[in-house]
Amino acid sequence: MDLDLFGWDGDFAGQFAPWADAGHRPGRVIAAHRGGDLVATGAGELLAQTTGRLRHLAGPSVAGLPAVGDWVAVRDGRIHAVLPRRTAVTRRAPGSPTVEQVLAANVDLVVAVVAPGRDANPRRVERLLALAWESGAQPVVVLGRADLCPDWGTDVDTELAGLAAVAPGVQVLALSCYTGEGVDEIAAMLTPGRTAVLLGSSGVGKSTLVNRLAGRDLLATGEIRDDGKGRHTTTTRQLVVLADGGLVIDTPGLRELGLWANGAGTAAAFDDVAALAAECRFDDCRHRTEPGCAVLAALEDGRLPAERFSAWEKLQRELAWVERRTDPMAAANRRRHIRAMSKSIRANKVHRGRD
């Protein structure tokens, strides 16, 4: 199998160099299963377990373990290393304040899919975008199942305008896998070697879109329940190679969108608020009662909707909470992980030098 088909390039090859001589081969994690990770290598696909050593290095954090989209070093059917990630979509693991979970790695594009009506809730979209920006990949917002708008007593333009208002600097488009609207636009974003991840609630049509892009029914899709909610048809994250050379990662419907971030993603998702805050007279303005506060002025004259400002404040509080919980323990673990990884890479090099 040609690894270029999976997005392998010179930069990843450079990252792999320290592992190359010790009999490892590179591969990309294309699915996470209970029995191990499905890895695509030059010699075909294999189901691989992570070595105990890599688990040990990762410590209590699962973020250092292979995730779908990762490039890994495989030997004797086991994953010995995860190559540095170019981008990573992460969230706080559901039910745990101190664990970071990687939803997808090495993606170029984050496609946030929402359905018309309740799912297109601005607060949810803001959260999806904060997650997307934080990853380092380019976000795009897709209004899926757009043909249903009339049934929901709304129209596509109204829904799109509502989405655009909370997605500054992000392309927003309508998609219907039934009428075909928007499919070509998304396909055009997936040039050869580029990887997209689809994120969104259950039932918004993520797997249907993958099938539509692939031109055949690769993935199972689910009927919608009477209450309009999905039923979590997709249960594993999975990377699919499209005929035109693009790559797309389908994910199970997201219920929880806990932020795990240093705040850069939130700042990017709210760059309208950030631009205002930059104009406040005081650098440490808290936008409460300070004189010369540009945020308060914008709230007053309606340029900044009050709900958007409080959504921003809420995410800031959440980030501060995550930081308090995770620092210093998780931060120390991360540092330890990074140190240990680079040590083992160095050791590998020394070893090679002796051969």
Ligand X SMILES: Nc1nc2c(ncn2[C@@H]2O[C@H](COP(=O)(O)OP(=O)(O)OP(=O)(O)O)[C@@H](O)[C@H]2O)c(=O)[nH]1
Angstrom distance (rounded) from CA 271 to CA 340: 36
SS3 of residue 220 by DSSP: coil
Choose from Zn ion, ligand X, Mg ion, none: what does 295 bind? Cβ within 5-8 Å by kind: Zn ion
Choose from Mg ion, Zn ion, ligand X, none: what does 178 bind? Cβ within 5-8 Å by kind: ligand X
Amino acid at 155: D
CB-CB contact of 146 with 184 (8 Å): no
Helix or strand holding residue 55 (H, E): helix 52-58
Side-chain half-sphere exposure of 272, counting CA atoms within 13 A: 18
Q: Does 51 bind ligand X (CB under 6 A)?
A: no
Is the CA virtual torsion 126, 132, 135, 137 positive or negative?
negative
Q: Which of residues 217-246 bind ligand X (CB under 6 A)?
A: 221-224, 230, 232-234
Q: Which of residues 165-184 bind ligand X (CB under 6 A)?
A: 176-178
Q: Does 234 bind Mg ion (CB under 5 A)?
A: yes
Rank residues 206 and 287 by Cβ distance to Zn ion and give the closer one: 287
Length of the chain: 355
Contact track, ligand X, 86-105, x by CB under 6 A:
--------------------
**Which tokens in the block code for residue 32?**
């996470």
Cis bond before residue 328 (omega within 30° of 0): yes
Minimal distance, residue 109 CB to Mg ion, in Å: 18
Contact track, ligand X, 320-349, x by CB under 6 A:
------------------------------
Residues that bind Mg ion (CB under 5 A): 206-207, 233-234
Residues that bind ligand X (CB under 6 A): 145, 147-148, 176-178, 202-208, 221-224, 230, 232-234, 252-253
